[in-house]
Structure 1
Amino acid sequence: MNSNDKETNQIHLSVPSARKDANQNVTRIMAAAKSVFKEKGAEAKVEEIAAKAEIGVGTVYRRFINKERLIWAVGMDVIKEIREKQLLDVNLPVPADQKICLILEEFLLLHRKYGKLHEMLLQLSEETEFGEEIKQTLTDVIQVAIKEGQEQGIFRKQDPVVLEAYILHLVNPKLISTLRYHIPVEEIPKTISKFVLKGLS
């Protein structure tokens, strides 16, 4: 997916409107959707989201064509939030291996804040191009941390693109979904970070 495609997807996740109240409704719908999806996951109904936002169901559908489009929009909003935190992490005055752990934890600890919404986003990542959107949130910050780690003598000297590909392979949604059935959810970030750092050293 090129940058133009990405911009197009983000712009058209909700139906554009020149009305100020329509844009306010989008904000209310998104906040309500995060709350309801967190509690009920895929079982959540648009009617419940509308009630939480204190607007009519028809208003939700005017802004978002269907439930799937709303889920994707919420997911993109979550990615934006992760991205902002990762940009802070990559600029911290700490060794590169710590930066890698922090960057991965921002991505992997979604379950703590978003509950069942995290499961929905993992499924969306496996079934649609949303997975590519997630990878894009990790790509450049990971490359920065890898290059810093090589300069610091922490990581092995190898093409940063190859090392980045290794990391992205380890944080793919299918692996995370599988680990959820075998180890406590709160241990997943630490487990994957250990695998990643071992492969980088």
Structure 2
Amino acid sequence: MTPSRPMRADARRNRARILAAAEEVFAEHGASASTEEVAARAGVAIGTVFRHFPAKRDLLAAIMKDLRRRLIDKAEALIANGDPKTAFFDYFTYLVESSAKIGTVVNLLAEEGPSIEPGEQIMALTHAFGTLMDAAREAGAVRPDVRPDEVIALLTATTHGAMAAGWSDDLRRRTVNLVLDGLRPH
């Protein structure tokens, strides 16, 4: 087997445009979204989409991987530069807000077949979330009796609710505020 060559700059740009367009198209149209629409929105030929993503499942998996990468990048930026008193709360909010976009892709992936193993990305997300929570606790912004598994349960319930029920922006914001108020010291 020969090692794969690095992707040309134009191919990388096309791939990024396809992923961004696909994320928008799937969020807007769900399962009825067409590859042709993705290609048109990305400004590339349909063959270019298929060259990068031979099947719809490949495109959905790449979107999911890209979304996870953005979540990790956001956490790492908050760890490096965020205020420990607010970074954890900002990240919790960001995760719930992102869930609406992720929800469509997750549902489509589930329809396409077996789940895709997230592996290292989920471990990195879990670690980053824990790091942000520890820093917030040390800064006195999170109650000392709050356990990580409780916070993950609250996050999971809130993101699932936002995804499954299609919460409005206002409901999502108010719900997140109530959850986060429960995590703060009284």
Return the TM-score normalized by structure 1.
Answer: 0.66
Tell me, what secondary structure is at the counterpart of 2:83?
coil
2:91 to 100, 103, 106: 103
TM-score, structure 2 normalization: 0.70
- Asked if the contact 2:53–2:59 (Cα under 8 Å) also holds between the matched residues in 1, the reply is yes
Query: Would the alpha carbon gap of residues 47 and 153 (structure 1) be closer, same or farther in structure 2, given more than 3 Å must change?
Result: closer
1:92 is aligned to 2:82:
yes
Unaligned runs of 5+ in 1: 1-15
Check whether the contact 1:143–1:164 (CA below 8 A) recurs between aligned residues. yes
Aligned mates of 2:173, 2:118 — CA distance in 1 = 18
Structure 2 counterparts to residues 4-23 of structure 1, below 5 A: 18=6, 20=8, 21-23=10-12
Which stretch of structure 1 is more off in the superposition, 64-73 or 84-93? 84-93
Question: 160, 166, 176: which one pairs with 1:174?
Answer: 160
- Letter of the structure 2 residue corresponding to residue 191 of structure 1: T
* Cα contact 2:61–2:109 (8 A) shared by 1: no
CA–CA separation in structure 1 for the residues paired with 2:104 and 2:83: 35
CA RMSD of aligned residues (A): 3.4
CA distance in 2, matches of 1:23, 1:149: 38
- The size of the alignment, in residue pairs, is 175
User: After the TM superposition, which parts of structure 1 deviate over 6 Å for at least 4 consecutive aligned residues?
Assistant: 130-134
Distance 1:29 1:102, change over 3 A: same
Give unpaired runs (5+ residues) of structure 2.
none
Per-residue CA deviation, residues 125-161 of structure 1 (Å, 9 max, x unaligned), is: 8773467777546422322233223333444446xxx
Q: Tell me the distance in 2 between the aligned counterparts of 1:149 and 1:59.
A: 45
Counterpart Cα distance in 1 of 2:123 and 2:176? 19
1:62 and 1:118 map into 2 onto residues whose CA distance is: 24
Q: What SS class does the counterpart of residue 109 from structure 1 fall into?
A: helix
- Structural mapping, 1:73-88, within 5 Å: 73-88=62-77
The reply to whether residue 63 of structure 1 matches residue 47 of structure 2 is no
**Equivalent of residue 33 in structure 2, options 28, 33, 44:** 44
The 1:125/1:45 distance shift into structure 2, 3 A limit, reads: closer
